[in-house]
Amino acid sequence: MAEITASLVKQLRERTGAGMMECKTALVEANGDLTEGEVVLRKRGIASAGKKASRATKQGLIGTYIHHGGQLGVMVEINCESDFVARTDDFQELVHDIAMHIAAADPKFIRKEDVTEDVIEKEKDIHKARALAEGKPEKMLDKITEGRMAKFYEEICLLEQPFVKEATLTVGQLVKTKIAKLGENITVTRFVRFKVGDSQADSGSETAAD
């Protein structure tokens, strides 16, 4: 068993914002490995965040991000439960990071449940036709299509996308770590993405982080 020093505990606390005892317990479980300790805390945080998901979010911020050169801009509304949390550096950083992510990753929807039925059916037809053209057996088409649809959702749904600043986390998981740290439910409500020359802005529908 690796020695769990005060310095290690402090480093993990600075990385995650978790309490000292929680950090020490996570490091014991991770045998002193900082990265693994962070994973342990994330898993616990995500689990606790799920308990807050039904709580109403009536406060929050509207954040903006303008890409260098002024050719691309994003406006996003993210809600929490109290004005106090909305004013914290952690919440403001989350709003900025998600706005920046939207600018970079160009999601079309906030989560899988928002994808319209016509878009889903069209995409499924494309993947089935592609699988047939590749010579896949017909009895395997549904399973193959399901696997490829998971990748499709990851590409177009904000909460399913790998976070641009840390690809080991999805945006949904990032939100849940902030829920665990700040102790309030947080929802990504809507966004709009403008690009110079586009006749119509891309916008995400209202929904909660799931």
Dump pLDDT digits (tens) for 77-99: 999 999 999 999 999 999 999 99
Identify any residues that bridge with 62 across adjacent strands, giving them in sequence order. 77
54 Cβ contact list (under 8 Å, min separation 6): 185
Q: Which tokens is 77 given?
A: 């509304």
Between CA 194 and CA 7 the distance in angstroms is 45
Phi (first) and psi of residue 186, to 5 degrees = -135, 130
Does the pLDDT of residue 209 top 60, yes or no? no
- Nearest alpha-carbon partner for 42 in 30, 54, 32, 31: 30
H helix or E strand, kind and range, residue 183: none
**Record: fold of 6-50:** Helicase, Ruva Protein; domain 3 (1.10.8)
pTM: 0.70
Q: Where in the chain is the domain with CATH 1.10.8.10?
A: 6-50
Contact 196, 72 (CB under 8 A): yes
Contact 85, 184 (CB under 8 A): yes
Q: Where in the chain is the domain with CATH 3.30.479.20?
A: 59-111+157-204
Residue with tokens 């998600």: 98
Between CA 76 and CA 67 the distance in angstroms is 14
Per-residue pLDDT tens digits for 103-152: 999 999 999 889 999 999 998 889 888 888 888 887 788 788 888 888 89
Direct distance between the N- and C-terminal alpha carbons of the chain, in angstroms, rounded to an integer: 36
The CA-CA-CA angle for residues 191, 204, 94, to 5°, reads 45
pLDDT score recorded for residue 97:
97
Q: Where in the chain is the domain with CATH 1.10.286.20?
A: 116-154
**Residues, the chain, total?**
210
The SS3 of residue 195 is: strand
Between CA 202 and CA 181 the distance in angstroms is 31
Question: Which CATH code for domain 116-154?
Answer: 1.10.286.20
Among 3.30.479.20, 3.20.190.10, 3.30.1490.20, 1.20.120.330, name the CATH number for the domain at 59-111+157-204: 3.30.479.20
